Structure 1
Amino acid sequence: MKRVLVVLGVLVVVIAGAVVWHRFDEPPARYVVLQYADASELWRSGDPETSLVRQIARELATRGSLSLDRLRQDGAVVVTTIDAKAQSAAAAAIRDRAAGRAGLVAVDPASGSVRAYAPGEDAAPDRAGGVVRQPGSVFFPFSAAAALQEGKPLDQGDALRAVRVAQKAGVPEYADVEGTRTKLLDGPEGGLRTLDLASGYATFAAEGVHRDAHFVTHVTDVHGATLYQALDTPQPAFDRDPLRSKEIANQVNEVLRKDPACGDDLWTACRASDPAEVRHAWFAAATPELSVSVFAGEAGAVDAGLPKAVWEKLRP
């Protein structure tokens, strides 16, 4: 009997050891958590990836050399620039005024932080950052700034110079559009994204100072160590001389504030696309606190006033 008990004891020890070894052999489950700017949870690994999550992942890969898969190995917290209330309001504005068939991006001119990114409610396309279309008359500020650089009337800006101005203001030469490297503003038929337009108008609202539009503030590991930190790199956009850049921006802002589309708001600079120029619709508006761009329509006639109606829903 004693011998049986000894054998059973040995078996228990062996089995227990095997269980412990098995537990240590398997790495613990780790998560990547994306947070809103107020530290509330936006997304965690295992949840479906949205267009916003994919934009954040692209930024982490290009600016921080960090992939979600790599972060998932040890666990990480990604603090984003997205304002939870603004994001909710943007999604509601698109749903209520455009039946989900529009895209909206809001950028803080003072920091370049993307505060809201609403791609529309369809599974595809991402109308905030995955659709490239001709800007039409909402491109006016860049053309006007190009004219002022050459001492010409605001309606006589050189097209090639206007593209360079737009790039200095925040429109990248190339962008990852749904996994494809795409050249923006490529010739007379060139286009840009809703995200780019919001970033460009933010530069005018910041009186000629450009800050890169970005989705991520910082990334920490599970122990709180910083893995990535966004840098603030303000640059004068319209002239090497910051005072001249400010002067050009404010001259353009003065014209934009007089646009009838802005109504009687003396602090808002805005522009709406002309339906005679493009078969989709744009509206861009900016104050020192927020730059917002709205895109609607894929093909055929659309309601030219729809983007402005979405913006009116969002504005405080």
Structure 2
Amino acid sequence: MKRFSPVLGAVTIVAAIVGYVVWQRPAAPVPPPPAPKEVVVQYADGSKLWSTAEEGMVRPELVKLVSAELHAANLPLDELKVVGGVVRTTIDARIETVSATVVGRLVAPNQRLSATVTAIDPASGGVLAYVPGPNRDRTNLADEQQETVPELAEPFARADAPNLVQARMRPLDVTAAYATFAAGGVQRRAHFVASVTGADGSSLYQASDAEKSVFGNDVADRVTLALKENPACNGVACVPDAFPWAVGYTPQLAVTVLVDETGGDVDAGLSAAIWQELVAELTD
């Protein structure tokens, strides 16, 4: 029988004791995550729209759409809170306010009605105004596909681009389609985020100008002149007789109004009246 050396046995015992002590030692405490930093969401002019300091409040529909767009660009709002920063949107504070005010005055008093307004800058695709309005199911009217009418598709048939209007579309997508005429036949992606800047001033995101020419400038001009001939348009290219829709554009903005009602008689000229008042105020 082999015998263990006393020295080897002592070393083995010491190693076992050290291992036991190390095993029993509590793990080093995990440092708490850094406190989130404020992210400010701004209108296009730099004024404040919302910030993560107001996280406990209900997020406006606009902020939900901005957050979704950031997520699609691999810059989720939760990750952005680690470094802090500023999200500059394309929303024009004046156009947004005017749109909400006109809708509130002409539609809100009638509990059966709701209306949405969307406006886009044809030169960039940036969304200038987004007034969602609840639909008959009390969800977001502007972000749901709605049934279109033949009058909306007619100008695109003249431009040999009928695929730009579908049987069901979101109001924002209708606005983007008509912005193509205002942009001389160039189609641009509608977007809400113009740029994102870190708290240290670094550029984290810049909207790219994704564009596609779908018909020539001469075609766009021809359709625009035809749309301006409607007496109800007051010299602005528009389709006022597409109830419950009304849509049109100037070189600076394309605007769509959609009225939703839950029953009963509705003035078929209401959407056109809202559109006309909006454009009159915004083009002064």
Smaller-chain TM-score range?
Answer: 0.7 to 0.9
Q: Verify the 8 A CA contact 2:188 2:210 in the aligned structure 1.
A: yes
Matching residue of 1:226 = 203
Matching residue of 2:271 = 307
Q: TM-score, normalised by structure 2?
A: 0.78
Matching residue of 1:89 = 98
Q: TM-score, normalised by structure 1?
A: 0.71
Q: Verify the 8 A CA contact 2:241 2:272 in the aligned structure 1.
A: no
Q: 5 Å matches for 1:169-208?
A: 185=166, 190-208=167-185
For residue 57 of structure 1, what is the amino acid of its counterpart?
A: S
Q: Report the structure number with the largest CA radius of gyration.
A: 2
Indicate the SS of the match to 1:297.
strand
Indicate the SS of the match to 2:119.
strand
Matching residue of 2:131 = 118
Alignment CA distance shift 1:299-1:192 (3 Å): farther
Deviations 1:22-55 (A, max 9, x none): 9x74522322211001111101121421221122
Q: Find 2:36's aligned residue among 10, 29, 32.
A: 29
For residue 193 of structure 1, what is the amino acid of its counterpart?
A: R
For residue 227 of structure 1, what is the amino acid of its counterpart?
A: L
- The answer to whether the aligner puts 1:253 opposite 2:217 as a matched pair is no
Aligned-pair CA distance for 1:58: 2.0
Q: Verify the 8 A CA contact 1:125 1:131 in the aligned structure 2.
A: no
Q: Find 2:233's aligned residue among 262, 273, 276.
A: 262
Indicate the SS of the match to 2:159.
helix
Matching residue of 1:292 = 255
User: Within 1, Cα distance between the matches of 2:138 and 2:86?
Assistant: 28
Q: Find 1:40's aligned residue among 32, 35, 47.
A: 47
Deviations 1:264-295 (A, max 9, x none): x2xx11003445xxxxx000010101110000
For residue 198 of structure 2, what is the amino acid of its counterpart?
A: D
Indicate the SS of the match to 1:77.
strand
For residue 214 of structure 1, what is the amino acid of its counterpart?
A: H
User: Within 2, Cα distance between the matches of 1:196 and 1:298?
Assistant: 21
Deviations 1:231-250 (A, max 9, x none): 12333122xxxxxx111111
RMSD: 2.2
Alignment length, in residue pairs?
242
Share of identical aligned residues, percent?
39
Q: Verify the 8 A CA contact 1:135 1:273 in the aligned structure 2.
A: no
User: Within 2, Cα distance between the matches of 1:26 and 1:231?
Assistant: 33
Aligned-pair CA distance for 1:261: 2.4
Structure 1 stretches lacking a partner, 5+ long:
1-21, 147-160, 172-184, 239-244, 276-280
Structure 2 stretches lacking a partner, 5+ long:
1-28
- The answer to whether the aligner puts 1:103 opposite 2:74 as a matched pair is no
